[in-house]
Structure 1
Amino acid sequence: MTVARDASGPVAALSAFASQVHPVFMLPPLAASLFGAVLAADAVPALDGSFAPLAAGVHALAIFCAVYTAHVKDGYVDFYVRGEDDAHPMSRRGCLAGLVGAGVGFAAATLGVVLLAGPLAAVLTLPTWVIGYLHAPQLDTNPITATAGYPVGIALAICGGYATQAGALAPAPLAFAGVFLAVLTGVKVIDDATDYEYDRSIDKRTVAVVLGRRRARRLAYWLMGGGLFAVVAFTVDGLFPPSAPVGVVAFAAVAVLAADRDAATATMLLVRGAYLLLAGLVVAVFFRPLAGVPLPDVTVLGPYTYLATEVVFGSLAVWLLVRARALRRALVTVAVVYPLAYVWDWYTLEVGVFAITMRTGVELLGIPLEEHLFMFVVPALVLGVHETVHGRVAPPADAGEEPTPADD
């Protein structure tokens, strides 16, 4: 049987099989599986930090086989069924052999998961192969399943990896899985836009085709932003380690750089940003570098504390507005809002709704100096974020895109 399409022999066969191992897409699911296992070893008191490497390895093998199945099936459909690809290294029989081999490997690994870790881990593992096998041509024609398939696989890999160690699930792995589901779905929305013209020509309903590229880009950033905010919220709540937001800062910086880039470049940047996010969370969970470290106490500035925070956030607001070329318009808007805010602020202070302790004591027109600055800083920051989001996350429509309500 000839495995390679244009050559024969064992070397060509091995090369053809190896061609379906795509590290960029293969490594994150494997890392997610091991991340779930590490999370369980760290978080479950009964495990006392112990780690079952054999169970973790067998689960990672099952995930590998599921992703390999997706790659082989997708390549087969795109080349032999749809005629989308110009070339493919595997013959028809080679693709069949790859699917059978990956399926047998997945079944054996899943059986190993059952024996080593119990049925729950296997139940969480089985859908990853189903998603991989059905990705093409069944799931990749629907905007929801085409976009969320890979992120759902990552989420299942985290939960399954956790279950291989703990034999159960807990809020922490579910929360981490939800974060990556949201963030990676956003990345996938942008990635699918790289084939917008072709997908539109064959009526393939990706999110970009259904919503238009500008609206799809906005949706992608809402998903990624929601996932990143969840990390911060879960950290404040105590579910995530204190250093978890470090990964958020790294990914957010990359997302800002990618905001006004074309889909291909943005995808390249965001995929690497996702690696940084995962690395940051792994370090946070495994090493807990900020455990026991108290929050910075800015009240050491005494009466200048409130003023110092306003300088920091006010500087951020000015930077955003200058970057968006909206400083003058924003100042006009803030000036119009200021009289209403002044009356509101004076009244609430007068009737004792709240008190300001860490302030200079300087008053102007009946209210603290800091409150006057606050009434400029807050709306200016809101306007800066607004101008940045609507000016950079939604770049002009690319050539060939028909105007849609999404582009308003």
Structure 2
Amino acid sequence: MAIARHGAGPTAGLQALGSQVHPVFMLPPLAASAFGAVLAGTTRLGATDVTLAPLALVAHLVAVFFGLYTAHLKDGYVDFHIRSEDDDHPLTARGCRLALAGATVGFAFALAGVVAVAGPVAGLLTLPGWVIGYLHAPQFDTNPVTATAGYPTGVALALLGGFYVQAGTLSPAVLAFAAVFVVALSGVKVVDDTKDVLYDRSIGKRTVAVALGPRRGREIAFGLMGLGMFLVVAFAIDGLFPTGSVLATVPFVVVAALATRGDPELATMLLIRGAYLFLAVLVAAVWFRPLAGVPLPDIGVLGPYTYLATEALFGTGAFALLWRAGAWRAAARTVVVLYPLAYLWDWYTLEVGVFAIPLRTGVELLGIPLEEHLFMLVVPAFVVGVHESLRHDTDG
């Protein structure tokens, strides 16, 4: 019996097998494995730097590839031959089973190579990639958590494995990068799953969009992506990531902002490409360390007007948000209610010496600096502006 549904002979069979190599989804995990190697090569471990081991890198990349290939084969087999979800599939049911067996054997040999060159722990970090791929359908895609986090977790495991086969250990930095990938890519996956909510519901797939609805799903998705970008900045400030890592958030945030206005299909397309850019800039930041040693801009040169300058900046942002959302009355009510409490809190903490404000004009009003009065206006207005803008976007 032929393995290809369209055509006969070895050529048709090879074409059918090759059709299950999906570069769009294979590239991020393979790139994550290579990024792990780069990160290991630029991470200080004790007294010496790690030297890249090409054989270990190749073995791990091959294992990651066969894990992904298994996932694509199994997903196509289930969606077409079992669920009748897809309109067509190039492989027969027998062809899918044979290809799955072959991919599993390929993975096993690659896994043995990983263990041989990097040890059993490296194998334990690599094996779950195949397990996730094989169980994605029809097991994992019937639960919102595993349906969403399966692929991002596979990318994170590829990163950890790529690092470990080079370094022989895991560092806090690589664990933090893996966490960022899981969080941010889970957001992208939720958006992707909003494309097929009705059909997924009809066949028992339990994605986040099915469980909570498309609108709520998109809110969670962009929240996860925002959290991922925040973690990059926070880890860079903490020194865990290279300072240049913050540059990787710029293209992703721009693309995500554009995606908020697109339908699920367009948004997914944009976000996938944004994820490529994000990973590419991260690799460059780790490899070249572009902002290493570059000090932060010192606005202290404004002297006594420094605090006022920051309030003017954020006040302008608050003004823009309130104007956009038409939330002037809401902001005014909030400020009126909070101001007396904030005033007492501020006066007391200044009085007992909890904090000091050296870069200020020295002008005081009602026992506290002028700048603190403005602060108590700007912050609530900014919060209301953000809240009302988000609510406006959601309702719209």
> Given the two structures, how large is their TM-score scaled by the length of structure 2?
0.93
1:136 aligns with 2:118: no
Secondary structure of the residue aligned to 2:86 is coil
1:39 aligns with 2:39: yes
Gaps of 5+ in 2: none
User: How far apart are the structure 1 equivalents of 2:309 and 2:72?
Assistant: 54
Secondary structure of the residue aligned to 1:244 is helix
Residues 249-269 of structure 1, C-alpha deviation per residue, up to 9 Å, x if partnerless? 332232233234332222222
| Residue of structure 2 in register with 1:14 after alignment | 14
Give structure 1 regions of 4+ aligned residues with deviation exceeding 4 angstroms. none
1:145 aligns with 2:149: no
Shift in Å, 1:49: 4.9
User: How far apart are the structure 2 equivalents of 1:149 and 1:181?
Assistant: 9
Counterparts in 2 of 1:352 and 1:29: CA distance versus 1, 3 Å: same
User: How far apart are the structure 2 equivalents of 1:382 and 1:240?
Assistant: 29
How many residues align? The count is 395
| Residue of structure 2 in register with 1:229 after alignment | 230
Q: Counterparts in 2 of 1:4-403, with a 5 A limit?
A: 4-45=4-45, 48-392=49-393, 394=394
Secondary structure of the residue aligned to 1:136 is coil
Gaps of 5+ in 1: 397-408
Shift in Å, 1:282: 1.1
Counterparts in 2 of 1:49 and 1:114: CA distance versus 1, 3 Å: closer
Comparing 122-131 with 211-220, greater Cα deviation is found at 211-220
Counterparts in 2 of 1:300 and 1:53: CA distance versus 1, 3 Å: same
Shift in Å, 1:64: 0.7
AA in 2 matched with 1:222: G
Secondary structure of the residue aligned to 2:244 is coil
Counterparts in 2 of 1:395 and 1:204: CA distance versus 1, 3 Å: farther
C-alpha contact (below 8 Å) 1:30/1:63 kept by paired residues: yes
Shift in Å, 1:34: 0.6
Residues 80-102 of structure 1, C-alpha deviation per residue, up to 9 Å, x if partnerless? 11101111112223222321221
Residues 188-222 of structure 1, C-alpha deviation per residue, up to 9 Å, x if partnerless? 12211111111122332221111222222222233
C-alpha contact (below 8 Å) 1:190/1:217 kept by paired residues: yes
AA in 1 matched with 2:41: A
| Residue of structure 2 in register with 1:403 after alignment | none
AA in 2 matched with 1:2: A
Counterparts in 2 of 1:23 and 1:141: CA distance versus 1, 3 Å: same
AA in 1 matched with 2:8: S
Counterparts in 2 of 1:53 and 1:203: CA distance versus 1, 3 Å: same
C-alpha contact (below 8 Å) 1:247/1:277 kept by paired residues: yes
User: How far apart are the structure 1 equivalents of 2:123 and 2:21?
Assistant: 23
- Identity among equivalent positions (%) equals 65
Shift in Å, 1:175: 1.0
Counterparts in 2 of 1:351 and 1:168: CA distance versus 1, 3 Å: closer
User: How far apart are the structure 2 equivalents of 1:72 and 1:31?
Assistant: 21
C-alpha contact (below 8 Å) 2:330/2:384 kept by paired residues: no
C-alpha contact (below 8 Å) 1:260/1:395 kept by paired residues: no
Counterparts in 2 of 1:15 and 1:167: CA distance versus 1, 3 Å: same
AA in 2 matched with 1:313: F
C-alpha contact (below 8 Å) 1:41/1:47 kept by paired residues: no
User: How far apart are the structure 2 equivalents of 1:255 and 1:363?
Assistant: 43
User: How far apart are the structure 2 equivalents of 1:205 and 1:304?
Assistant: 55
C-alpha contact (below 8 Å) 1:334/1:380 kept by paired residues: yes
Counterparts in 2 of 1:328 and 1:188: CA distance versus 1, 3 Å: same
> Given the two structures, how large is their TM-score scaled by the length of structure 1?
0.91
AA in 2 matched with 1:25: F
Shift in Å, 1:155: 1.0
Comparing 324-333 with 264-273, greater Cα deviation is found at 324-333
CA RMSD of the aligned region, Å? 2.0
Residues 265-286 of structure 1, C-alpha deviation per residue, up to 9 Å, x if partnerless? 2222222222222122211211
Shift in Å, 1:351: 4.1
Residues 97-146 of structure 1, C-alpha deviation per residue, up to 9 Å, x if partnerless? 32122112111111111111111111110110111111111221122211
User: How far apart are the structure 2 equivalents of 1:331 and 1:30?
Assistant: 52
AA in 1 matched with 2:121: L
User: How far apart are the structure 2 equivalents of 1:239 and 1:76?
Assistant: 42
Shift in Å, 1:395: 5.3
AA in 2 matched with 1:18: G
C-alpha contact (below 8 Å) 1:41/1:48 kept by paired residues: yes
Comparing 151-160 with 309-318, greater Cα deviation is found at 309-318
C-alpha contact (below 8 Å) 1:41/1:51 kept by paired residues: yes
